[in-house]
Amino acid sequence: MPDFLYEWPIWISGSAIFLAILAFALTCLFLVRRHLLPHLDLRQEHELYRATLVQSMMVFYGLLAALLSVNVYATYADASRTVSKEATGLAALYRDVSSYPEPARSRLQGKIRDYVREIIEEAWPLQRHGRIPEHGVTMVDAIQDELTVFEAANEAQRALHAETLRAYNAMVEARNLRLDANRDGMPALMWVVLLFGAVLCLFGACFFDVSEPRLHFLFQGLLASIFAIILFMTFAWDRPYRGDLGVDARPYQIVYDHLMKRHEATP
C-alpha cells in the first residue's frame, strides 16, 4: 500500500480503500453488463462452469488472504510484545540502579529517565512516520559508559552490578528488535498479488447472468465490501508502528509515570 495512506487519519484511509474497491467493482459490473454480457453465449449449461470457476477463485483468494492476514497480525503482535519487553527491561534497570550508591545512582537514574522521555517524545513520532530514530543510540551508550566505570565496593554491590548489566543487555536486545520492526511489512510483490487477486475475483463475479440489475449490483457491492475489509485489515496491521492503529508508546509512559517521575525533582 502507498505510504501516504499511513499519514492520513485511519477513518480517511479506511474510507479511501473501501470507496476505491467499491467503485472498481460497480464500474466493472456496469461495463461488463453493458458491453460484454450481451455478446456472450450465456446458455444455462454454461452457468455451472461459471459458478464453479468463480467459486474456485474465491476459495483460493480466501486462503491467500487468510494466510497473509495471520502473518501480518503475528508481526504486529510481535512488535507489541517487543515494546512491552523493552519497557519492562527499562523498569527493571531503573529499579536496579536505584540501589546504587551516590553519585552513580542519581547519574544513572537521570540518564535512564532521559532515554525513556526520548522514546516517548522523539522516537515514537518518528516511527509513526516510518523513520528510524537515531538519537537514542548515544543515550544508550551513555548509560553503558556509566555502568562500565562503576566500581563495586563489596560483594553485595558486585552482585547488584552483575544483575544490572543483565537487565541492561536485555533492554538493549529489546530495543534493537523494536528498531528492526520499523522495517517489517509485506513485500510489494505480496501486495500486488493480494490486490490483483481481488481484482480478478470481482471481475469474474460480473459474468453471472442476473436478470435483475439492482440485485446484481447489490451482490457485487457486498462482495466488494468484504474484499475492502480484508485489504483494510491487512493495511492497518502491515506496519506495526504506522497509522492510528499502530503500536503506541503507552508501556513506556506507564513506566515513566509510575516509577520515574517521582524522582525527577530529586538532585
Place of cell 499502530: 246
Predicted TM-score (pTM) of the model is: 0.84
Tell whether the model's pLDDT for residue 46 goes beyond 80: no
Q: Which residue has the higher pLDDT, 209 or 231?
A: 231
- Residue 266, pLDDT > 60, answer no
pLDDT digits (tens, 9 = 90+) for 55-79: 888 889 989 898 898 899 999 999 9
Enter the DSSP assignment of 101. P
pLDDT in tens, 217-229: 999 999 999 999 9
Q: Per the structure block, which three cell numbers stand in for 47?
A: 452457468
**What is the mean pLDDT of the segment spanning 171-195?**
91
- What are the helix (H) ranges across the chain? 4-7, 10-31, 44-97, 104-118, 124-128, 135-149, 155-180, 188-204, 213-238, 250-255
Q: How many other CB atoms are found less than 10 A from the CB of residue 205?
A: 21
What pLDDT score does 1 carry?
Answer: 72
Q: Is the pLDDT of residue 159 over 90?
A: yes
Q: 211-245: b or e for each residue (b if 16 or more CB lie within 10 Å)?
A: eeeeebbeebeebbeebbebbbbbbbbbbbbbbeb
Confidence band of 42 (pLDDT split at 50, 70, 90) = low
Mean pLDDT of 168-177: 94
Determine the Cα–Cα distance for residues 238 and 240; give it in Å rounded to an integer.
Answer: 6
CB contact at 8 A, 234 and 72 = yes
pLDDT higher than 70, residue 263 = no
Phi, psi of 239 (to 5 degrees): -110, 110
Q: How confident is the model at residue 265 (pLDDT cuts 50, 70, 90)?
A: low
Place of cell 458491453: 35
pLDDT of residue 43: 62
Contact in structure between 209 and 37 (CB atoms under 8 Å): yes
Q: Look at residue 267 in the predicted model and tell me its pLDDT.
A: 47
Q: Is 109 helix (H, G, I), strand (E, B) or coil?
A: helix
pLDDT band of 243, cuts 50, 70, 90: confident
3-state secondary structure at position 184: coil
Calpha distance 159→241 (Å, rounded): 37
Tell me, rounded to whole angstroms, the distance of Cα 237 from its chain centroid.
4
Instruction: Round the CA-based radius of gyration of the chain to a whole number and report it.
Output: 27
Residue written as grid cell 462452469: 49
Q: In this predicted model, what pLDDT tens digit does every residue of 103-156 receive, in sequence order?
A: 999 999 999 999 999 999 999 999 988 888 888 899 999 999 999 999 888 999
Burial class (CB in 10 A: 0-12, 13-18, 19+), 108: buried
> In 115-168, at which residue ranges do the beta strands (DSSP E only) sit?
none
